Structure 1
Amino acid sequence: MPPRRSHKKSRAGCRRCKVRKIKCDEVHPRCGNCTKHGVVCDFESNEVADDLASVSTPAAPSPLPPTPAASYARANPQPPRRSPPRPPSVTPRLVFNQPPTPKVSSVTAQVSRLMELRLMHQYTNVTSKTLLTSSPVTEDIWQRAVPQMAFEGRTYLADAILSVAALHLRSQAPEDKSLIRATHAYTASTLAEYCASLEKGITSDNAESLFLTASLIAFQSVASRIFAKDDAEPDDPNARYALPLPWFHSFQGVKTVVATSWQWIRNSNIVKSVIDSQPSLQLDLNPLGPNSFFGHLLEGLDEEIAEEAPDMVPSTTQCYSHAICVLNWAHKSPHPAAALAFPATVARRFIELVEMKRPRALATIACFFALLKRLDGVWWLHDVARREVMGLVGLFESGSKWWRHLEWPVRIALWDGSNIPPEIWGTDWETSVPPDTSQGFVDHIELVAELMGQSTHDLLNVATPFTGEPPLTAESPD
């Protein structure tokens, strides 16, 4: 057998020849094999070969014939070890090797940011116009001045804005889980920051923003009742119907902030405009007079009072009488929003009686919620009359003597349509003489402050538009 021909290995051949495992003649600038097949040789340019190797091949075949460069890239995948090193900031491998937590956090932050932008847009363009303002000035305050104040570092005010806007959007899409999470998160954040600020004390710097936040919390508490059943715990025995105490506690909170900070907010045009945007409170202080529509709710009061502790008799009597006076006024007012003065003006004792589920107190607030039937078109008051009245009626035992006092609120709550005839309502508010508006809420507060020597402690216990106790005269003992 003839001896084997000697073979000299090519150690400096081009990449294509090495991949194909054929001998390269190492001819520069283009080896013989690459010249024969009409492809680019990496001897010509290492940078060109690297760039071609990094280009991804299309998933679908191109209708055009492949170019020599494309053929080379497909047939000769380049080992990454031969690629020139890249800076770490642009190396894809480093991106994918990062821990997943920063990536998830950045996505979460982006979603939250988009949600906040969505909610702020909703508030300034839509929600701010649904807060039952009575003048362009007040509407402009809620739409422009309030967000501007929030942007100045009042995080509790900003969260309150976003919370109310989230509730508004949720009322249109009740099943949207992102909106459900947003309402819960911003509500909790608002209350936490707001309470922390109150604990630090009300000052001239934060009095305005705290008042506006308290007002938005009141809206928030009311609107949340729309979803009370959806948000209740499945095993909660009281999930069927819970007393509407958030209505009263939140509005009483506004009253407290006003009384405590009046020395600073009395000169605020923003606060004055918001307070005076509500119908002027002009009460007939005779709850049993001939024009009293709800005077029947005081029948048998003597028997109830006889069972009260002696020191509670005056406050119980007065709170019931005052509540009936407010109902009579709101019932005859041509302004549907007049009824909203009720939860802000009733006395603390009256709220205690509601918490105790006293039949008289429950029947009284049933009449209040029936008055809100005229505001059924407002999103945060939609269906509130039917829902709350029928819930309260369900707390009375069958055959109760209070059924006859509940006939009117039930009839109104279940009325089909927005136009309630005067004979059903009990008065024709469309032809009623508008109340005297020469004296607004701010004037009432100023008068009481002057009588009481501007004592904010006393303001909490006298009959202003934000309280329910009868006013003390200058000679009255403390």
Structure 2
Amino acid sequence: MPPRRSHKKSRAGCRRCKIRKIKCDEIHPRCGNCLKHGVVCDFESPEVADDLATVSTPAAPSPISTPASLHPPNPARRRRSSSAIPPATPRVVRQPSPIDVSRAGGQVGRLMELRLMHQYTNVTSKTLLTDSPVAEDVWQRAVPEMAFAGRTYLADAILSVAALHLRSQSPEDRALVRASHAYTASTLAEYCASLEKGITSENAEALFLTASLIAFQSVASRIFAKDDIEPESDDPSARYALPLPWFHAFQGVKTVVATSWQWIRNSNIVKNVIDSQPSLQLDLNPLGPNSFFGHLLEGLDEELAHENPANVQATTQCYSHAVCVLNWAHKSVYPAAALAFPATVARRFIELVELKRPRALAIIACFFALLKRLDNVWWLHDVAKREVMGLVGLFESGSEWWRHLEWPVRIALWDGTTIPPEVWGADWNQTGHKTDGHGFVNHIELVAELMGQSSQDLLHVATPFTGEPPLTAESPD
């Protein structure tokens, strides 16, 4: 038997590698493991050793979890050599601390976190399209307070949205790019872990608010996506990615609300947020005389003739419901009413979008055109033009669907701050939405009754980055 190969143990590795109990290559100023994971190495920044020691040291049980970046540095520790072997290493929490990435690039994590929280409470919280001063106060004051009470996934969601907001103003700031990616990943990891453990009366409010912020984050992220992924490709689908994050994210909010309604229905925080949206009062006749988008259902019988018989009813209902929501939002004086569309469409409709059915793509093109009135909102800026023209590019030249796309294209390319009623197709001053005193709560009550309570179904829909395997795509005619 050949002699065993000797193993040289790393004794001067960085503190992060020691905590993770992995071999450090001891390369200065940044070891290979830290470089691979995009985090700061204490070889290049001695202050990181203080933070790692703070994160890895177990604290006495407390209802409030204090971020590592808020602990003051210990001058005595900074004078120690960064290669000193630490004392016995305690068990480390699985989720990374926000400090790990917000310090990237030599930035001081504490200052980054303070910058993001200041941005959120003073600016970003006022851009979440609430139609109520009470709801605005919830996002600005009550939500951070709940996050500080130990809901780290909610705190990370707040910082993630704030980072994206700042990125929209300074897209070249690499520290903000890293921070937004880090907080987004941390939010999703802890959020999904909490869902796996189950929604309870104690975490229902925080999970609902986190799901809502994830939806904002998911939508806002598309403003940084490149439409021309492969500019030289002749395949339109290679130049435009379907806006599925929109639907998965908002459907996730709906699922969390419906599943936890027994606990949050009496929450003033949740009810104020939900009731800040206009009452969903639909005319359930999608082909009535006042139906502006009824033309999108033309030829449906011919399409259903080739449909799997098991899906005919679901397909019919989801198309009809989607058109009804478009008709309602189109006439609403409240521009953000259109955001009810991705949250209320049926799961079957989303499947049809994934399959690139021409009718489904034409319908969502009209939805994105409705968002033209929200061009001044940072996370919806230029979304109408970007998404409508991307969807139109999926249709073949001379397609019979071109006539159904004329209105969304005209609206998406409209140059001006005001769209005349004759161009829009409705006068908001005469057809503004009216509430029945119950806001959106009645709709939530109905959804809660209809939806199943399966935790697997919840996990399947509740995050924007989970779902069924991609369906086989069909090319729009």
- Check whether TM > 0.5: yes
Distance 2:228 2:217 in 1: 14
Q: How far apart are the structure 2 equivalents of 1:436 and 1:107?
A: 48
SS in 1 for 2:282: coil
Alpha-carbon offset, residue 229 of structure 1: 1.1
Q: 1:272 & 1:421 partners in 2: Cα distance? A: 35
2:202 counterpart of 1:218: no
Amino acid at match of 2:398: G
State whether structure 2 residue 230 is matched by structure 1 residue 204. no
Q: Residue 287 of structure 1 contacts residue 321 of structure 1 at CA under 8 Å; is this kept in 2?
A: yes
How has the CA–CA distance of structure 1 residues 133 and 158 changed in structure 2, closer, same or farther, with 3 Å as cutoff?
same
Match of 1:125 among 110, 122, 130: 122
Match for residue 445 of structure 1?
Answer: 444
CA distance in 2, matches of 1:151, 1:98: 32
Check if 1:158 corresponds to 2:155.
Answer: yes
Cα displacement string for residues 117-175 of structure 1 (whole angstroms, at most 9, x for unaligned residues): 11000000000000001111101100000000000111110010000000000000111
- 1:229 match: secondary structure: coil
Q: Counterpart of 1:134 in structure 2: which amino acid? A: D
**Secondary structure of 2:199's match?**
coil
The residue type equivalent to 2:319 in the other structure is Y
Distance 1:359-1:164 versus aligned 2 partners, 3 A rule: same
Q: Percent of aligned positions with the same letter in both sequences?
A: 80
Instruction: State the AA in 1 paired with 2:192.
Output: C
Aligned to 2:36: none
CA offsets 1:399-445 (integer angstroms, 9 cap, x no match): 10000000000000000012001110001112324323323211333
Corresponding letter in the other structure for 2:343: A
Rg larger for: 1
Equivalent-residue separation in structure 1 for 2:232 and 2:422 (angstroms): 44
Q: Distance in 1 between matches of 2:345 and 2:432?
A: 25
Distance across 2 between alignment mates of 1:345 and 1:192: 26
Aligned 8 A contact 2:388 2:412 in 1: yes
Q: CA RMSD in A?
A: 3.0
2:224 corresponding residue in structure 1: 227
In structure 2, relative to structure 1, the CA distance for the partners of 1:231 and 1:112 (3 Å cut) is farther
Residue 83 of structure 2 aligns with an amino acid whose one-letter code is P
For 1:114, the equivalent position in structure 2 comes to: 111
Residue 303 of structure 2 is matched in structure 1 by 304
Counterpart for residue 188 of structure 2: 191
Cα distance in 2 for partners of 1:387, 1:261 equals 35
SS at structure 2 position matched to 1:407: helix
The whole-number CA distance in structure 1 between the counterparts of 2:80 and 2:144 is 41
* CA gap 1:119/1:398 in 2 versus in 1, 3 angstroms: same
Residues 327-406 of structure 1 correspond to what in structure 2 (within 5 A)?
A: 327-406=326-405
* Post-superposition offset of 1:99: 3.5
CA apart distance, 1:370: 0.1
**For 1:80-137, what per-residue CA distance to the aligned partner results, in whole angstroms no more than 9, with x for missing partners?**
xxxxxxxxx999xx948653999x9997696122111110000000000000011111
- 2:151 equivalent to 1:167: no
User: Post-superposition shift, 1:234?
Assistant: 9.9
Alpha-carbon spacing, 1:385–1:448, altered in 2? closer, same or farther (3 Å): closer
Q: Distance in 1 between matches of 2:277 and 2:155?
A: 24
The answer to whether the Cα contact below 8 Å between 1:373 and 1:418 also exists between their aligned partners in 2 is: no
SS at match of 1:258: helix
Partner of 2:243: 244
- Given that 1:279 and 1:437 are in contact with CA atoms closer than 8 Å, whether structure 2 keeps it comes out as no
Corresponding position of 1:86: none
Amino acid at match of 2:281: Q
Map 1:245-324 to 2 at 5 A: 245-324=244-323
Q: What code does the residue aligned with 1:142 have?
A: W
- In the TM superposition, residue 446 of structure 1 has moved relative to its aligned partner by 3.2
User: Structure 1's 281 and 90: CA in aligned 2 closer, same or farther, altered over 3 A?
Assistant: closer
Gaps of 5+ in 2: 1-73, 87-98, 459-477
State TM-score, norm by structure 2.
Answer: 0.72
Q: In 1, Cα distance between the equivalents of 2:75 and 2:216?
A: 51
Gaps of 5+ in 1: 1-88, 462-478
Distance in 2 between residues matched to 1:158 and 1:190, nearest whole Å:
8
TM-score (norm 1): 0.72
How far apart are residue 232 of structure 1 and its match?
A: 6.4
Query: In the alignment, is the contact (CA less than 8 A) between 1:319 and 1:347 conserved in 2?
Result: yes
